[in-house]
Amino acid sequence: MASPIRPILTVTLNPALDLSARVGQMQAGPKLRLSDTRYEPGGGGVNVARAIGRLGGAVTAWVALGGANGEKLLALLQAQGIRVESFAGPGETRQSWAITDDNAQQFRLQLPGMDWDAAIGAQALADILSHAQDLVVLSGSQPPGLNADFPQKLCTELGPGRLVIDTSGAALEKLVRDPQSAARVFVLRLDQAEAEGLAGHALDSVTDTADFAKTLVAMGVAELVCLARGADGSVLVGHDTTHHSRPPQVRIASRVGAGDSFVGAFTLAIARGETPAQALRFGTAAAAAAVMTEGTELCRAEDVERLLPECSLAVI
């Protein structure tokens, strides 16, 4: 008998109402007329939930929302069939913009979000725990003012084998520089720039990336560490696994959402009982599929299915 699918909750502390559009040429001075404008619900955990939904998985999205932007984001997310647990965040939900010109250059602009204080952070932690599923994905940036140890507090409360993290800034720095045995993350994902920033040097080869990931696992930062290498795919390291998956070459329309599509597909595969190596390959196909779509559309299931056999998987 097949094991039951593990339910998934995604957490977005700092969501954004995403605007994507096109412009003939991005330049300073004149008014720039945008075309092909599109609004989508955005933010790390929101996009992870959207990717899981697109790939046929069930997911609940916990999202901190505020103001008119928050209401619009909520309506857009519900229209996509995603179950939402909304939390009253302070002020107005931020916006972000992805503008692509006729030369296929993309300009990405993001606002920081509203300030959080300790009281709001404590309320959010309690609310997340009240809705927590077997797997919890904490993805995206933290709002200004929230203590950098929030992911570690969440991990400690959840216990081992449950928390997938893809974050940045001070929260990521705290997680890696000050690992706590009581807060052992299940899966930590980093992009190449983040990994090189933490390593303090370039990670030029797949071997370099794997060696750095092994260091993080040995330090007790996470059970599994996944490091992205852009078009070169991703490396996954655990105590008993070191794999590299590389995607085929695809036409790039927008790089927005590739990482979130990876995390969504990877987590869904784990929830379905697949091995970490199989999840790595599925995530690699989803990331490749995401860059083929315009704006913030994320991956399409049919593209993932087509690309999956073309994604290599090697032990390194």
Which CATH number covers residue 209?
3.40.1190.20
Q: State mean pLDDT over 27-46.
A: 91
- Does the pLDDT of residue 297 top 90, yes or no? no
44-97: pLDDT as tens digits:
999 999 999 999 999 999 999 999 999 999 999 999 999 999 999 999 999 998
Select from 146, 313, 118, 135 the least CA-distant residue to 233.
313
Is 291 a member of any domain? yes
- Does the pLDDT of residue 36 top 60, yes or no? yes
Is 2 a member of any domain? no
Contact 123, 42 (CB under 8 A): no
Is 99 a member of any domain? yes
- Where residue 182 falls among pLDDT bands split at 50, 70, 90? low
Write down the pTM of the prediction.
0.92
Return the residue matching tokens 């507090």: 153
- Where residue 2 falls among pLDDT bands split at 50, 70, 90? low
CA 210, CA 109: separation in Å to the nearest integer? Answer: 32
Is 29 a member of any domain? yes
- Mention every residue, 6+ apart, whose C-beta is less than 8 A from residue 43: 12, 14, 15, 16, 63, 140
Is 266 a member of any domain? yes
- Mention every residue, 6+ apart, whose C-beta is less than 8 A from residue 238: 217, 223, 224, 225, 276
- Does the pLDDT of residue 163 top 70, yes or no? yes
- Does the pLDDT of residue 189 top 80, yes or no? yes
**What domain count does the chain have?**
1
- Does the pLDDT of residue 193 top 70, yes or no? yes
Select from 98, 72, 100 the least CA-distant residue to 86.
72
CA 136, CA 90: separation in Å to the nearest integer? Answer: 23
Look at residue 256 in the predicted model and tell me its pLDDT.
77
Is 173 a member of any domain? yes
What pairing do the DSSP bridges indicate for beta strands 163-166 and 135-139? parallel
Is 3 a member of any domain? no
Is 185 a member of any domain? yes
> Percent of the chain beyond pLDDT 90?
79
Print the domain residue range for 311.
Answer: 8-315
